[in-house]
Amino acid sequence: MKEELPITTWHGPYDAATKARALAALESGNVLYFPNLPFRLLESETEFLDARVADGKAKNISLDHTSGKIQASSLTGEHAVRLAAMIERFGSSAGALVQGLLPYGDVERARTSFRPVQVKGRSYSKISDDRLLHIDAFPSRPMQGRRILRFFANVAPVSHRHWHVGQPFEDFARRFLPQVGPHLPGKSWLFEKLGVTRGRRSLYDELMLSLHDAGKLDSDFQSNSLHQDVRFAPGSCWLVFTDQVLHAALGGEFALEQTFHLDISQMAEPARAPVRVLERLSGKVLV
């Protein structure tokens, strides 16, 4: 479930055995853990280790690397520029590592986030509470079967980031697919027209959202399903397909995260992609 890779550098070349191990671990639904790969802040950036740099409205501060703009930060002027530079330096480092370590030729770098607020003690509705086991599926961002790969760094000085990692995706899908109601024709079209979604949701997107919600709303599943307690030390990083690996973020503060999207055609074993698993289980074409 948690596979350690003892690399110490952000740039390759990495040896063939390391690359093969990383690929196999990721695609089979493990969390790839880098205990010896700290993302170091500059002395001047330690001022950002403060929950007040978030505006208090959104969970995370996010950076769109194509525009250089950050959202949901309380900072302005020169401080905001330096915070954006820190998040960008992390995002480009994560991009270099993913390019060097994995054979995926075409990986899209999506948003980068900084998560400065302690996870414990925040209150949410169940559906938006990521302290509950879930797979990632985003209401406004249809994936059309593409993968969500996320790279995280714990930049907290002392506290671990604490996750639960749940059962294999297929077991989870088998449990909840029978509960998922029929897809309403016209809804995806309407949501796209109204601008609720960026692009149109496929059947795959509808199904993933339904599974995400059904899992979070089932308290027996949350309390009693098999899971592993995983702790990410300060100064460590980890990489995981969050659309496949059931995860819950229970505690920790000051994490950075870079999201990547990729087509399943890039994978060594596309049959392991959630879209292929769901198509096999449901007997339907989903994208």
Q: 262: burial class by Cβ within 10 Å (0-12, 13-18, 19+)?
A: buried
Query: Token digits for 46?
Result: 């330690």
Q: How far is the CB of 212 from Fe ion (least distance, A)?
A: 9
# chain residues binding Fe ion, by CB under 5 A: 1
Q: Does the protein bind Fe ion through residue 136 (CB under 5 A)?
A: yes
The region of 81-89, 129-137, 169-177, 264-272 touching Fe ion under the rule CB under 5 A is 129-137
Q: By C-beta, is 136 or 253 nearer to Fe ion?
A: 136
Q: Does the protein bind Fe ion through residue 218 (CB under 5 A)?
A: no
The region of 36-44, 136-144, 163-171, 197-205 touching Fe ion under the rule CB under 5 A is 136-144
Q: How far is the CB of 130 from Fe ion (least distance, A)?
A: 5
Considering only CA atoms, which of 187, 148, 183, 97 is closest in space to residue 274? 148
Q: By C-beta, is 131 or 272 nearer to Fe ion?
A: 131
Q: How far is the CB of 106 from Fe ion (least distance, A)?
A: 24
Are 152 and 161 within 8 A, CB to CB?
Answer: yes
Query: Token digits for 141?
Result: 């961002």
Q: Does the protein bind Fe ion through residue 206 (CB under 5 A)?
A: no
Q: By C-beta, is 48 or 241 nearer to Fe ion?
A: 241
Q: How far is the CB of 148 from Fe ion (least distance, A)?
A: 9
Q: How far is the CB of 131 from Fe ion (least distance, A)?
A: 10
Instruction: Compute the C-alpha angle 159/41/74, nearest 5°.
Output: 80
Q: By C-beta, is 75 or 253 nearer to Fe ion?
A: 253
Q: Does the protein bind Fe ion through residue 257 (CB under 5 A)?
A: no
Q: By C-beta, is 75 or 135 nearer to Fe ion?
A: 135
Q: 10 Å Cβ neighbour count for 136?
A: 19
Q: How far is the CB of 137 from Fe ion (least distance, A)?
A: 9
The region of 130-138, 171-179, 230-238, 278-286 touching Fe ion under the rule CB under 5 A is 130-138
Q: How far is the CB of 262 from Fe ion (least distance, A)?
A: 17
Q: 224: burial class by Cβ within 10 Å (0-12, 13-18, 19+)?
A: exposed
Are 142 and 202 within 8 A, CB to CB?
Answer: yes
Considering only CA atoms, which of 188, 197, 254, 231 is closest in space to residue 31? 231
Q: How far is the CB of 249 from Fe ion (least distance, A)?
A: 7
Q: By C-beta, is 197 or 259 nearer to Fe ion?
A: 259
Sign, CA dihedral 127-248-87-42, equals positive
Q: Does the protein bind Fe ion through residue 27 (CB under 5 A)?
A: no
The region of 1-9, 97-105, 108-116, 135-143 touching Fe ion under the rule CB under 5 A is 135-143
Q: By C-beta, is 27 or 136 nearer to Fe ion?
A: 136
DSSP string, 212-280: HHHHHH-HHHHHHS-EEEEEE-TT-EEEEETTTS-EEEEE---EEEEEEEE-GGGSS-GGGSHHHHHHH
**Per-residue b/e over 6-33, b at no fewer than 16 CB within 10 Å?**
ebeebeeebeeeebebbbebbbebbbbb
| Contacting positions for Fe ion (CB under 5 A) | 136
